[in-house]
Amino acid sequence: MSESQGFQLNQAQSQSLSLSQGMRQSILILQLDAIDLTTYLEDISMTNPLITVHTTLDRRLPDSQDAQLESEHQSLFTYLLEQVQLTMRDTHLRKIVIYLIQQLDPRGYLSLSNEDIATELNLSTTEALDAITLLQRLDPPGVGARDLQECLYLQAEQDPDQIPEGILALLQDCFEDLVKHRWHDIEVKLKLSRKQIDACVAYIQTLTANPGIAYGRPQVEYIVPELKLSMQNNEASLSLNRHSQPELIFAQATYDQLNATDDAEVRRYLREKKDQYQSLEYAMQRRQETLVMIGREIIRAQFDYFKDPSLPLAPLLLRDIAQRLQLSESTVSRTINNKYLQTESGVYPLKMFFSRYSPAAGGESRSTAQLIATLKQIVAKEDPTKPFSDSALAKLLSDQGFVVARRTVAKYRQVAGIASARDRKIR
């Protein structure tokens, strides 16, 4: 399918696809941080009289003990680059994937054809296809698609849950029929009933036409640690910060009173709103359980570091946690995204405890701790009257084997307690 066709289809489907503001509810709840989650639930409660959201967070106060200022938001490029560094060895193919990430538009679409990529990078067709496949396996699902059809297909293909029968064939072979509502043609070609087709259409409306859109806007102004680590007698204790978790309250009395009516329409409405509450409650419980499970695995893997922060982090990749917990890498990635751990020495992003592999001389591997140590060394040797910018630091780190983006440098500069170039400059 050509790009022009994809653009036209995007316009044709924009109205129906706008019914969904992102991935399905459970995935969205897993990825949201505590503040955004609270806002999301409060928005839903405005349309559901049976739901009340209770929270002890005060999002108005910048000096709140629960929240810390977070001035930098995460771009789609940064999010994808971090996944590459946490899941792929430093190979020629990984460099191609990073190049492709740089070519994505704000929606997460890749405008280059297979032939363009092969020609520009002097690759074989097989190498180009391998790199595109790796890119399209990253989170969010649908990233790296060339048009709307491929974007929706990738999301359905990577769905860890059960998908409607015939959905992949519908998206792959009958997309034009779908757009033009030629239901009879689809029934004949795919041998699906109208009920099955309706289920497929309803499912498609839960997908997103713009997988990268959530990363094109600033994130929340404050961060809230959702996990807390305590160390006593060389033993680690991890707990969920209940104070940061919004609580859903079901209006049982209101439900019982209204449900006593003989009006079938009112009862149907109440049943729908109660189902929505139960779905949210289940998704919230799963979110907490998954966050704690992953947090415990991080503590287990980095136990020596938590006992003595002067030690380097142990090598740890997303797939290590995923394999131990029998989760997908995308689930781990979503769970740790914008989540923080409170320790006795400060509040840290969970992503910090994953070491990035970058082969050095002699076949050794370099971790995040080594990256920070190298960053400190570079800054210590800089001219204080002309300190390095974050972009310059990214270039210097790259020269020493650490391929990182400017935003990543800024994040680890803050973790290392290094001021910005403006504040470091001696006049």
pLDDT in tens, 169-220: 999 999 988 888 899 999 999 999 999 999 999 888 888 888 887 675 544 4
User: Do 321 and 381 have their domain in common?
Assistant: no
Q: How far is CA 189 from the centre of its chain?
A: 37
Output the CA torsion sign for 67, 333, 308, 235: positive
Given 353, 383, 403, the domain boundary residue is 353
Number of domains in the chain: 3
Torsion of CA 325, 330, 333, 338, to 10 degrees: -130
Q: How far is CA 177 from CA 85, 154, 164, 173, 195, in A?
A: 40, 19, 18, 9, 16
Burial class (CB in 10 A: 0-12, 13-18, 19+), 87: buried
Report, as an integer, the average pLDDT of 24-41.
Answer: 83
Instruction: Confirm whether 46 is domain-assigned.
Output: no
Any domain includes 148: yes
Domain co-membership, 250 together with 312: yes
Which amino acid does the sequence have at 225?
P
Note whether residue 48 is domain-resident. no
Identify the residue with better confidence: 84 or 324.
324
Cβ partners under 8 Å of residue 87, min gap 6 = 317, 318, 319, 329
Contacts of 319 (CB under 8 A, 6+ apart): 87, 329
- Report the range of poorest mean pLDDT among 12-21, 121-130, 206-215, 239-248: 12-21
Q: Which of 19-33, 131-145, 224-238, 251-265 has the lowest mean pLDDT?
A: 19-33
In sequence order, the 6+-apart residues with CB closer than 8 A to the CB of 104 are 76, 77, 80, 110, 143, 144, 212
The whole domain housing 279 covers: 222-353
Same structural domain for residues 391 and 338? no
Q: Is residue 133 part of a domain?
A: yes
Task: Looking at the structure, tell me whether residues 135 and 256 fall in a common domain.
Answer: no
Contacts 24+ apart (CB under 8 A), 174-180: 175/1, 175/9, 175/149, 178/204, 179/9, 179/12, 179/13
User: Could you give the CA distance from residue 228 to residue 37 in angstroms, rounded to a whole number?
Assistant: 19
Residues 384 and 340 occupy one common structural domain:
no
Q: Residue 185's pLDDT is what?
A: 92
Q: Among candidates 35, 44, 26, which has minimal Cα distance to 250?
A: 44
Predicted local confidence at residue 364, as pLDDT? 39
CA distance 320 to 201: 36
Q: Are 129 and 168 within one domain? A: yes
Phi and psi torsions of 237, nearest 5°: -130, 120
CA–CA distance, 376 with 368 (Å, rounded to integer): 12
Residue 125 CA to residue 116 CA, distance in Å, equals 10
| 343, 377: one domain | no
SS3 (DSSP) at 317: coil
Mean of pLDDT values over 115-122:
80
In this structure, are residues 208 and 20 in contact, taking their beta carbons and an 8 Å threshold?
yes
Share of the chain above pLDDT 70, in %: 83
Query: pTM of the entire structure?
Result: 0.52
- Together in a domain, 136 and 256: no
**What mean pLDDT value characterizes the chain?**
80
SS (H, E, C) 196-229: HHHHHHHHHCCCCCCCCHHHCCCCCCEECCCEEE
Taking alpha carbons only, the member of 133, 190, 131, 176 closest to residue 157 is 133
Instruction: Based on the fold, state whether residues 164 and 145 are members of the same structural domain.
Output: yes
User: Does the structure show a pLDDT above 50 at 52?
Assistant: yes
269: pLDDT strictly greater than 60: yes
Mean pLDDT of 79-97: 82
